[in-house]
């Protein structure tokens, strides 16, 4: 191992995994802000170079990395079996761990950080910005993720971040932050506060449906952004869903809605000119089409009917989380400038208002793919 590799990766971590003898290159990779991610290129004598992804999990984001890794091992094993049975290539269509030299799925460093090694999926690309076609392709991948995991016992997975998309709990966190008003910012955000208070009942729609058994508990990804899908470089087909760290029990409409709030518009998340922010119903239609196609009939009628609520609730929830963080002094979401969380909140609420206006069309679209 040369000096460059030593600087980036603790030597004890490098020797914990059975990497080929010659190590050619180490580079940071990905746009994630949570984990430490490196791409390693190795080369055994006379053999083609092989690439790996080495990741050190963030101790700040994940309190129980061993539970997270237990989920990871079980989910990817299930995906491998299903992909194989479906005639696919499990080495390209899901993530594959490389065990440590002692056969463990991960290595715990001297400082307690958990490290894992993954096979690199060659000839793939990742996108940060959507074209309608890529957006629909990503929907197919996340819908297929639902299909592949349809018979996995969701309740046996650990919650890696408890109550992550429980919108009722998010409302309560907002109400507590408003009451405490720790930074004295509540007075200036009254329009946003009123926007949330007027939608308190909405926050219970999905959780009520879950409690009443109308929506089933599923294995959900919970971070269904476009850049969490690998696309085949040549065909531009969605190939592999990545970033499984928040995969846990949840509702299928959360995965659907999380993609819509992030992707079905053309503005920056913190756009200050709200005239530029609008919900794109055509992108919503394309995503719905791709998602249901990928899910291959595995979603129930009720889940299909609740898809528009998934979009509306994930958007409202995200705006509420930005507002809560603003009230609490910007402690959770990284900000680059003052009031960024407030601007982010406003774009989400503008999108919610747009969705409320075209609510009937959103429902018609969801029901048109029966």
Dist CA 329 CA 341 (whole Å): 10
Using rule CB under 6 A, residue 270 touches ligand GN1: no
What contacts 87, CB < 8 A, 6 or more positions away? none
Residue closest to ligand GN1 when measured from CB atoms: 318
Q: Cβ of residue 336: shortest distance to ligand GN1, in angstroms?
A: 13
Q: Which two tokens stand for residue 50?
A: 């092989």
Q: Cβ of residue 93: shortest distance to ligand GN1, in angstroms?
A: 22
Total residues at interface with ligand GN1 (CB under 6 A): 4
Find which of Mg ion, ligand GN1, none residue 33 binds, CB within 5 to 8 Å per kind.
ligand GN1
Instruction: Count CB-CB contacts under 10 A for residue 206.
Output: 27
Task: Report yes or no: 10 and 24 within 8 Å, Cβ to Cβ.
Answer: no
Find which of ligand GN1, Mg ion, none residue 305 binds, CB within 5 to 8 Å per kind.
none
Q: Cβ of residue 335: shortest distance to ligand GN1, in angstroms?
A: 12
Using rule CB under 6 A, residue 223 touches ligand GN1: yes
3-state helix, strand, coil split of the chain in percent (to 5) is 50, 15, 40
Closest CA relative to residue 353, chosen from 202, 245, 249: 202
Query: Which parts of 160-199 interact with Mg ion (CB under 5 A)?
Result: none
What contacts 245, CB < 8 A, 6 or more positions away? 34, 35, 57, 61, 62, 68, 72, 160, 223
Closest CA relative to residue 53, chosen from 98, 15, 86, 93: 98
Q: Cβ of residue 32: shortest distance to ligand GN1, in angstroms?
A: 7
Residues 175-214, one symbol each (x = binds ligand GN1 by CB under 6 A, - = not), give ----------------------------------------
Q: Which two tokens stand for residue 227?
A: 């850049």
Q: Cβ of residue 268: shortest distance to ligand GN1, in angstroms?
A: 11
Nearer to ligand GN1, 7 or 33 (CB): 33
Q: Cβ of residue 33: shortest distance to Mg ion, in angstroms?
A: 8
Q: Which of 33, 48, 155, 301 binds ligand GN1 (CB under 6 A)?
A: 33
Q: Which two tokens stand for residue 177?
A: 């932050």
Nearer to ligand GN1, 107 or 256 (CB): 256
Dist CA 102 CA 230 (whole Å): 30
Query: Which parts of 216-235 interact with Mg ion (CB under 5 A)?
Result: 223
Nearer to ligand GN1, 170 or 304 (CB): 170
List, in sequence order, every residue forming a beta bridge with 36; answer none if it has no partner.
56
Find which of Mg ion, ligand GN1, none residue 318 binds, CB within 5 to 8 Å per kind.
ligand GN1
Nearer to Mg ion, 258 or 305 (CB): 258
Total residues at interface with Mg ion (CB under 5 A): 1
Task: Report yes or no: 241 and 228 within 8 Å, Cβ to Cβ.
Answer: yes
Task: Report yes or no: 100 and 106 within 8 Å, Cβ to Cβ.
Answer: yes
Query: Which parts of 117-156 interact with ligand GN1 (CB under 6 A)?
Result: none
How far CA 252 is from CA of 245, 313, 367, in Å, comes to 17, 13, 16
Residue closest to Mg ion when measured from CB atoms: 223
CA dihedral 150, 153, 159, 160 (to 10 degrees): -70
Nearer to Mg ion, 226 or 352 (CB): 226
Q: Which of 318, 323, 327, 365 binds ligand GN1 (CB under 6 A)?
A: 318
Find which of ligand GN1, Mg ion, none residue 325 binds, CB within 5 to 8 Å per kind.
none
Q: Which residues bind ligand GN1 (CB under 6 A)?
A: 33, 223, 269, 318
Q: Which residues bind Mg ion (CB under 5 A)?
A: 223
């Amino acid at each position: 191992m040369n000096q460059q590799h030593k600087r980036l990766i603790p030597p004890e971590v490098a020797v914990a995994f059975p990497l080929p003898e010659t190590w050619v290159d180490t580079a940071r990779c990905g746009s994630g802000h949570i984990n430490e991610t490196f791409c390693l290129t190795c080369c055994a004598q006379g053999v083609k170079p092989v690439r790996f992804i080495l990741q050190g999990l963030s101790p700040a984001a994940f309190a129980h990395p061993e539970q997270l890794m237990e989920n990871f091992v079980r989910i990817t094993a299930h995906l491998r079996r299903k992909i194989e049975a479906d005639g696919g290539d499990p080495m390209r269509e899901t993530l594959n761990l490389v065990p440590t030299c002692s056969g463990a799925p991960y290595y715990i460093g001297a400082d307690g950080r958990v490290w894992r090694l993954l096979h690199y999926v060659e000839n793939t690309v990742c996108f940060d910005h959507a074209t309608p076609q890529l957006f629909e392709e990503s929907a197919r991948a996340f819908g297929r993720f639902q299909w592949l995991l349809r018979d996995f016992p969701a309740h046996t997975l650990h919650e890696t971040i408890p109550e992550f998309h429980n919108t009722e709990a998010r409302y309560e966190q907002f109400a507590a932050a408003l009451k405490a008003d720790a930074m004295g910012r509540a007075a200036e955000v009254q329009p946003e506060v009123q926007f949330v208070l007027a939608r308190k009942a909405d926050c219970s729609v999905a959780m009520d449906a879950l409690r009443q058994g109308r929506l089933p508990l599923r294995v959900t990804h919970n971070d269904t952004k476009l850049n969490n899908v690998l696309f085949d470089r040549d065909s531009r087909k969605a190939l592999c869903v990545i970033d499984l760290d928040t995969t846990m029990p949840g509702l299928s409409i959360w995965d659907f809605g999380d993609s819509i709030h992030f992707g079905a518009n053309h503005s920056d998340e913190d756009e200050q000119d709200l005239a530029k922010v609008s919900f794109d119903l055509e992108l919503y239609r394309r995503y719905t089409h791709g998602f249901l196609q990928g899910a291959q009939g595995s979603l129930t009628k009720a889940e299909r009917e609740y898809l528009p609520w998934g979009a509306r609730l994930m958007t409202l929830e995200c705006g509420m989380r930005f507002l809560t963080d603003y009230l609490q002094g910007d402690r959770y979401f990284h900000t680059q400038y003052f009031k960024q969380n407030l601007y982010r909140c406003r774009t989400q609420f503008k999108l919610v208002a747009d969705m409320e206006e075209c609510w009937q069309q959103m429902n018609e679209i969801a029901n048109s793919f029966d």
